[in-house]
Amino acid sequence: MSQYNEMNPAPHHYGHHFESAEHEFTTAKQGMWIFMVTEVLMIGAIFVGYLLMRGRYPEAFHAAHQVLNVKLGALNTIVLIVSSATMVLGVSAAQRGNNKRAINMLMATIACGAIFCVVKYFEYSHKFHEGIFPGGMYHYEGLTIPHVPLFFSFYFVMTGIHAFHVVVGMALIFWTITRIKRGQISKQFFTPVELVGFYWHFVDLVWIYLFPLLYLLG
Amino acid sequence: MAHTEHAHGDNYLNHEKGIWSWMTTVDHKRIGLMYLAAVLFFFLIGGIFALIIRLNLMKAGAPVVDANTYNKLMTYHGAIMVFLVIIPAIPASIGNFVLPMMLGAKDVAFPKLNLASYYIYLLGALFACLALFLGGADTGWTFYTPYSIRTSGAVIMVIFGAFIAGFSSILTGLNFIVSIQKLRAPGLTWNRLPLMLWALYATSVIQVLATPVLAITLVLLIFERTFQIGIFDPALGGDPVLFQHFFWFYSHPAVYIMILPAMGVISEIIPVFSRKPIFGYRAIALASFGIALVAFIVWGHHLFVSGQSELANFIFSLLTMFVAVPTGVKVFSWVGTMYKGSIRFNAPMLYAMGFLELFTIGGVTGVFLATLAIDVHLTDTYFVIAHFHYVMVGGTIMGFVGGMHYWFPKATGRMYNERIAMWAFILIIIGFNLTFFPQFIAGSEGMPRRYWSQLPEFDLMNRLSTYGSWFLAAGFIVVAYNMIKSAKSGPISGPNPWRALTLEWQSPSPPPHDNFGPTAPTVTQWPYEYKGANV
């Protein structure tokens, strides 16, 4: 039955409270979807706060958004879209039992995540250098309209929480790579790779909303 | 334990031995008991704080603690009771124990996650309690800005503790939803699902959808204090009312996280002890979801006097009235079940009836508070305190203690002492009403909540309330005595002393490690086919 059994011939032992490996897999997927819903609500609350304040102080938010570097933001958008593609390829390779290819694709995904973080680091440090900090710590002299600091509070909190999720995602992908290397992932059992894939796509999707909301919306 | 082994054979209590086997267990029954122990411990701590608060307010101008300490006690009483007691009380302890068994399953969907959520809960509790020794917090459990940004003390630690405990709640909810959807025994269709499970399902949906919003709000509050982000700080251009919106978007639904599981417990107890099929099964099940839905669109009634627009006030007031519809459906269905039933007044039934009385008073006074003109008068008075204690203690804690008695023989294999249980109930019901009914009167006369001291004209009501708190405490001590003693030496109960029809009673008491042994149960009928006194 299995074509790629050189690394992992042993069948997966599912939990004693499930009827079959398939039952365990669909249950795990459902759990992950629900977890994604909680993430959406968590990030959703702060989106609501941002849009509310944006509606209240449109001039300040318009002026503030022009300070952001659209080119770097766009670069990061492309990097994350590419990472989502490599993630899909990695998951599909793992499903087919092609472990070598799966590892390569997952490594590529981690690399994209790392590029994203490096670009973000340069953006942040440039802002800090100019005195652009959140809220009460803001002291950039180039832009002194009231409520501009509030925009940057949202900018740093939203992108910061997103970046935290990127780092967690990278750690999770690394964990799946170690599991593949230990021979624990096979055609019969690839749940961890698939679920970490869900998570990574979610993190990308959040950025797809963050980029236009913060960088582009005039 | 040696002699119990003989009496019960291999069961979940003696399947593995030693403290380590408990700490690393993934057995939902053991995790349920560990939650129970933790919840009861914090109930004791929160209760002691409450007793000190009551003692302090016994007589005008005769405080027993200074104002600062009082503010911290008040904050901690609220935070501990809400986040560490009432929210996990029924779902995480009783729910964990009975949910998989009612499903006919061997465990919850994600047993390791279940254990993880227990430790996350303990970690959150640890942070919140350590903060007490590092200056504590005097913000009230609602952490309203901008005061919570400015005040000194270990506010960040307390908030962080609540943030962590929230994840435990999210993960338990997630686990329960997936378990109910994926692990039902053959034949256990949605129309045969016990009402306890419908209630836990609805509760879990709220936990999963509302708690993340609290999580991000608390994170933002921590950032307010560490990075001055100013989103909730008017001095930095932010909006403190936004904090209140975010906070209550979670904390109002959280009220239903607290009450729905108790309603589930009551829905199980009443038909069993009335020996009648439950009246309005589908209505009760749907009402749980009705409540969960309405829960998310009424949070603004906490902001009637915060400067929210009049239109918003009007809409939230109207929507809040709708809460009364599904809850009314439930109360009438329970009473309808008891009508012409062969009622047995065992302790669980006493608590169920106590629930009906106290919850109804709490619910009806909720309608007063939903009415705009009356609420302006009653906002931040003891009327509000009395109202939500009638719902939270009179509702949830009654359901919790009733459920503890109901499933006591299942968990321990032994029977509690019925006579002592009855006297404890009498102490509790008298103590409760004596504690909180005078607060309605004091509140309607204008006594403000949260104050360290009061005017002499409120002395009579406060004295009654303080006396009541002693009766209440005595009642809980008797319950604890009865439970501890009976768990050790009560008479053997047999697998199904109540002759109940839900699946958990088909297993031996205490249940074996994998709940039902080698033959998994199959469901062929609705769990409420009771036919009079003898069947």
The pLDDT-based confidence of B535 (bands split at 50, 70, 90) is low
Closest residue of chain A to B103, computed from CA coordinates: A17
Q: Are B295 and B253 in contact (CB under 8 A)?
A: yes
Lowest mean pLDDT among B5-19, B279-293, B303-317: B5-19
Q: What mean pLDDT is predicted for residues B371-400?
A: 96
Q: What is the pLDDT of residue A4?
A: 41
B441: which 2 tokens?
A: 């009167």
CB within 8 Å: B228 and A136: yes
Kindly state whether A3 is in contact with chain B, defined as any CB-CB distance less than 8 angstroms: no
CB within 8 Å: A38 and B100: no
Q: What mean pLDDT is predicted for residues A99-127?
A: 97
Give the Cα separation of B170 and B267 in Å (integer).
24
Q: What is the pLDDT of residue A11?
A: 63
Q: What is the pLDDT of residue A13?
A: 78
On whether residue A11 sits in a domain, the answer given is no
CA atoms within a 13 Å half-sphere pointing along the CA-CB vector of A178: 5
Q: What is the pLDDT of residue B423?
A: 98
Percent of chain A having pLDDT more than 90?
89
Q: What is the 3-state secondary structure (H, E, C) of B82-112?
A: HHHHHHHHHHHHHHHHHHHHHHCCCCCCCHH
Give the Cα separation of B166 and B120 in Å (integer).
9
- Nearest CA among B224, B95, B98, B205 for reference residue B151: B224
B286: which 2 tokens?
A: 């749907």
Q: Domain containing A171 — which CATH number?
A: 1.20.120.80
Closest residue of chain B to A26, computed from CA coordinates: B182
Residue B249 has pLDDT above 80, yes or no: yes
**Per-residue pLDDT tens for A52-81?**
999 999 999 999 999 999 999 999 999 999
On whether residue B167 sits in a domain, the answer given is yes
Identity of the residue numbered B12:
Y
The pLDDT-based confidence of B322 (bands split at 50, 70, 90) is very high
On whether residue A6 sits in a domain, the answer given is no
Residue with the two structure tokens 């998951």: A91
The pLDDT-based confidence of B9 (bands split at 50, 70, 90) is confident
The parent domain of residue B112 ranges over: 26-506
Signed CA dihedral, B48, B54, B58, B64: sign only: positive
On whether residue A158 sits in a domain, the answer given is yes
The parent domain of residue A201 ranges over: 21-216
- Nearest CA among B132, B439, B180 for reference residue B285: B180
Residue B390 has pLDDT above 70, yes or no: yes
Q: What mean pLDDT is predicted for residues B435-462?
A: 96
Q: CB burial class (10 A; 0-12, 13-18, 19+) of residue B112?
A: exposed
On whether residue B462 sits in a domain, the answer given is yes
Residue with the two structure tokens 């933790």: B38
On whether residue B281 sits in a domain, the answer given is yes
On whether residue A13 sits in a domain, the answer given is no
**Per-residue pLDDT tens for B93-117?**
999 999 999 999 999 999 999 999 9
**Pick among B120, B211, B228 to test the A interface (most A CBs inside 10 A):** B228
Q: How many domains does chain B have?
A: 1
**Pick among A22, A32, A42 to test the B interface (most B CBs inside 10 A):** A42
Q: How many domains does chain A have?
A: 1
Q: Domain containing B259 — which CATH number?
A: 1.20.210.10
**Per-residue pLDDT tens for A74-95?**
999 999 999 999 999 999 999 9
- Which of chain A's residues have a Cβ under 8 Å away from the Cβ of B27? none
Rounded to 10 degrees, what is the CA torsion of B442, B447, B448, B453? Answer: -110
**Per-residue pLDDT tens for A155-191?**
999 999 999 999 999 999 999 999 999 999 999 999 9
On whether residue B73 sits in a domain, the answer given is yes
Closest residue of chain A to B109, computed from CA coordinates: A27
Closest residue of chain B to A157, computed from CA coordinates: B220
On whether residue B461 sits in a domain, the answer given is yes
Residue A18, min C-alpha distance to chain B (Å): 8
Q: What is the ipTM of this complex?
A: 0.92
The SS3 of residue B146 is coil
Residue B77 has pLDDT above 80, yes or no: yes
Nearest by CB: B178 against A31, A44, A133:
A31
Residue A199, min C-alpha distance to chain B (Å): 16
The separation between CA B86 and the C-alpha centre of its own chain, rounded to angstroms, equals 3
Adjacent-strand bridge partners of B448? B381
Q: Are B233 and B169 in contact (CB under 8 A)?
A: no
**Per-residue pLDDT tens for B160-206?**
999 999 999 999 999 999 999 999 999 999 999 999 999 999 999 99
**Per-residue pLDDT tens for B32-62?**
999 999 999 999 999 999 999 999 999 998 9
On whether residue B16 sits in a domain, the answer given is no
